[in-house]
């Protein structure tokens, strides 16, 4: 006889904490089944959530959430957390317009202690909460849950460095599954994977866990045990252990526990109860398997990091595939391989986004010229600057939202030195289900003020290739920003042709209205212009901007409209206004862009419609504006 379902009676962590510890494996099993069903229908981040089920159950069982703070790094593993914190019946809305966010969000639930979406912020945020509680006299606990992939970023080590030297109660849980989105790179994952460290600390942690309650009651026993522990380390192989620096985290001032099995929920509860009562900075090393419990995700955690929906166990009947339009990412990936074949100076750099940025084929063809630096955007840009100093031609493939994290390095280490680094900026504009943390809505504004920068915005797939080739040949810093997904379906050249830097082109001649459009807004502007009989200019470049074309359009038309998939403040429309002011031209101007507010998650078409940037809404906004001026 099967036991009665437990997940049905759990609406909040308080309900979970009423259960007996021996019931928790059943809760974890039911939670995993629920997760498989819900994500299988809605899509979303998948393998990372499967790997964090038992850890999530144990954390909410031991810690008094929401009074205690659980800070999830990145947050793509927070679905089990959402299910256990009152949002189980909303999981069918995950990442949909008006539904649950795909990441922790403070405005969504009191259990979401910190809004996240980018990696390596959890330790710093949890430390801030711990210090605040200490100053306010609150008896709360703060826990940061960070993956070994996110631990490759400098910000995580900055926080460790700070926390390890403070008298504050903080627990950092290192969820070690040997993965980020792709397999981890760099020295730290190799350190964590060391059999010496895992075996030795596993033995010592077991000894300490079994004996600590007894030893705490005996005068001087803990000090003696510490001496014995150190002696064991020495006898186990002093030279080898020294090479591993004893424990990286102990040297940072953290008391290390682990590694422990992250899928043994009852043992996790025992370990966490012990750690919750300890003082000072603590680090728990947990070993998990990404995709645990679902064979497809276990065997291919890269593919199943995020899914649209789960495949059926039964193979679908074979259907002749229909040729799909290439995505901008695919256009970039093909261009990169072609350009590398033509120029041996080219190297490609990614901050842990090999698949997302379209670099899989490049790595296969040019492994010695491919550099995945881990989740370290700042280092990626400075590294590119160093390469460029010596005559190499670096291409940094990076999402718009992640480039924000390396702004100082872009300015200081590349632009001010006028180094020829090409930034291939993917996911520019609205990104859809990933929401505001991943939206690329600010790059035109923050790049335009940087000296020496060339900024290009292609209007279709072929323009993307043309502008990549053009900017690559420039002897200065440059950026080509393009949206997520497919474009207009334009035929893409297989050559490496270039265009004149800073020169726009007229796509449609019309009457009294001139629409000055940038990048992804050219296509909807053209559709709107058919009904308005408007002229449409594809500016191609935001910087240097085609002043002659802007002046000519302003003097030959009664109304000027600018359109961009970027923040209105300081963006391409602002650049047009600056040109008009410079030349003393006073004409009615309508700026179409993203207004000054945080955009939400949802279907991109719906979001663009709400923002007034779809073809229909552009036409209506222009027509209404002309009537009003």
The residues annotated as belonging to the active site are: 290, 377, 405
CB atoms inside a 10 Å sphere around CB 572: 29
Which sign, positive or negative, has the C-alpha torsion 38, 7, 20, 142?
Answer: positive
The radius of gyration computed from the CA coordinates of the chain, to the nearest angstrom, equals 27
The number of C-alpha atoms within 13 Å of 474 and in the hemisphere containing its C-beta is 29
Contact yes or no for 496/339 (Cβ under 8 A): yes
- The string of DSSP letters for 222-258 reads HHHHHHHHHHHHHHTTHHHHHHTTS-HHHHTTPEEEE
**CA-to-CA distance for 206 and 501, rounded, in angstroms?**
65
**CA-to-CA distance for 99 and 116, rounded, in angstroms?**
17
Inter-CA distances, 135 with 121, 129, 143, 342, 400, Å: 22, 10, 17, 61, 37
Contact yes or no for 375/352 (Cβ under 8 A): yes
The DSSP letter of residue 414 is I
Q: Could you check whether the bond before residue 430 is cis, i.e. omega within 30 degrees of 0? A: no
**CA-to-CA distance for 69 and 126, rounded, in angstroms?**
7
The DSSP letter of residue 96 is S
Give the list of residues 6+ apart from residue 201 with CB closer than 8 angstroms, or none: 247, 256, 258, 259, 285
Q: What are phi and psi of 263, to 5 degrees?
A: -115, 10
Beta bridge partners of 517: 538, 563
CB atoms inside a 10 Å sphere around CB 393: 20
Beta bridge partners of 145: 72, 173
Q: What are phi and psi of 568, to 5 degrees?
A: -60, -35
**CA-to-CA distance for 167 and 170, rounded, in angstroms?**
9
Give the list of residues 6+ apart from residue 76 with CB closer than 8 angstroms, or none: 45, 48, 49, 102, 103, 305, 306
**CA-to-CA distance for 361 and 367, rounded, in angstroms?**
10
Which sign, positive or negative, has the C-alpha torsion 139, 145, 148, 150?
Answer: negative
**CA-to-CA distance for 561 and 357, rounded, in angstroms?**
32
């Amino acid at each position: 006889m099967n036991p009665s379902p437990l997940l049905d009676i759990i609406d909040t962590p308080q309900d979970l904490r009423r259960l007996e510890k021996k019931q928790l494996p059943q809760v974890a099993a039911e939670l995993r089944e629920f997760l498989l069903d819900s994500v299988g229908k809605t899509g979303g981040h998948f393998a990372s959530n499967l790997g964090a089920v038992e850890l999530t159950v144990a954390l909410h069982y031991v810690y008094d959430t929401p009074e205690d703070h659980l800070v999830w790094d990145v947050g793509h593993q927070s679905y089990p957390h959402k299910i256990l914190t009152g949002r189980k019946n909303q999981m069918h809305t995950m990442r949909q317009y008006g539904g649950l966010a795909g990441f922790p969000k403070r405005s969504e639930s009191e259990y979401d202690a910190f809004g996240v979406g980018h990696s390596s912020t959890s330790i710093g945020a949890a430390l801030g909460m711990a210090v605040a509680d200490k100053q306010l006299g609150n008896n709360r606990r703060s826990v940061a849950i960070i993956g070994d992939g996110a631990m490759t970023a400098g910000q995580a080590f900055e926080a460790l460095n700070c926390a390890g030297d403070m008298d504050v109660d903080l627990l950092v849980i290192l969820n070690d599954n040997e993965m980020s989105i792709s397999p981890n790179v760099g020295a730290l994952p190799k350190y964590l994977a060391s059999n010496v460290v895992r075996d030795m600390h596993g033995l010592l942690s077991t000894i300490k866990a079994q004996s600590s309650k007894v030893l705490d009651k005996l005068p001087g026993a803990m000090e003696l045990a510490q001496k014995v522990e150190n002696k064991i380390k020495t006898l186990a192989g002093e030279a080898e252990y020294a090479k591993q620096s004893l424990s990286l985290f102990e040297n940072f001032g953290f008391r290390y526990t682990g590694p422990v099995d992250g899928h043994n929920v009852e043992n996790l509860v025992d370990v966490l109860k012990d750690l919750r009562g300890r003082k000072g900075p603590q680090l728990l090393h947990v070993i998990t398997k990404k995709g645990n419990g679902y064979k497809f995700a276990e065997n291919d955690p890269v593919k199943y990091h995020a899914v649209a929906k789960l495949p059926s166990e039964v193979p679908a009947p074979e259907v002749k595939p229909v040729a799909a339009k290439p995505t901008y990412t695919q256009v970039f990936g093909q261009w990169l391989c072609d350009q590398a074949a033509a120029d041996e100076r080219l190297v490609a750099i990614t901050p842990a986004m090999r698949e997302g940025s379209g670099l899989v084929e490049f790595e296969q063809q040019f492994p010695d010229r491919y550099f995945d630096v881990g989740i370290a955007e700042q280092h990626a840009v400075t590294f590119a600057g160093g390469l460029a100093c010596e005559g190499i031609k670096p291409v940094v493939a990076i999402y718009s939202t992640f480039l924000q994290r390396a702004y100082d390095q872009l300015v200081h280490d590349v632009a001010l030195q006028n180094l020829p680094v090409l930034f291939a900026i993917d996911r520019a504009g609205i990104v859809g289900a990933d929401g505001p943390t991943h939206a690329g809505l600010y790059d035109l504004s923050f790049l335009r003020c940087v000296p020496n920068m060339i900024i290009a915005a292609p209007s279709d797939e072929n323009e993307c290739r043309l502008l990549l080739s053009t900017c690559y040949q420039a002897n200065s810093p440059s950026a080509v920003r393009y949206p997520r997904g497919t474009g207009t379906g334009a035929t893409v050249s297989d050559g490496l042709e270039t265009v004149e830097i800073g020169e726009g082109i007229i796509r449609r001649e019309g009457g009294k209205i001139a629409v000055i459009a940038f990048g992804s807004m050219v296509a909807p502007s053209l559709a709107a212009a058919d009904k308005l009989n408007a002229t449409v200019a594809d500016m191609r470049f935001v910087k240097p901007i085609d002043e002659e074309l802007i002046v000519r359009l302003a003097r030959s038309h009664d109304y000027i409209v600018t359109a961009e998939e970027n923040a209105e403040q300081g963006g391409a429309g602002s650049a047009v206004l600056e040109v008009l002011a410079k030349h003393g031209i006073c004409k009615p101007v309508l700026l179409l862009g993203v207004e000054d507010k945080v955009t939400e998650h949802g279907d991109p078409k719906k979001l663009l419609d709400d923002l007034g940037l779809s073809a229909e809404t552009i036409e209506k906004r222009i027509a209404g504006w002309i009537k009003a001026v």
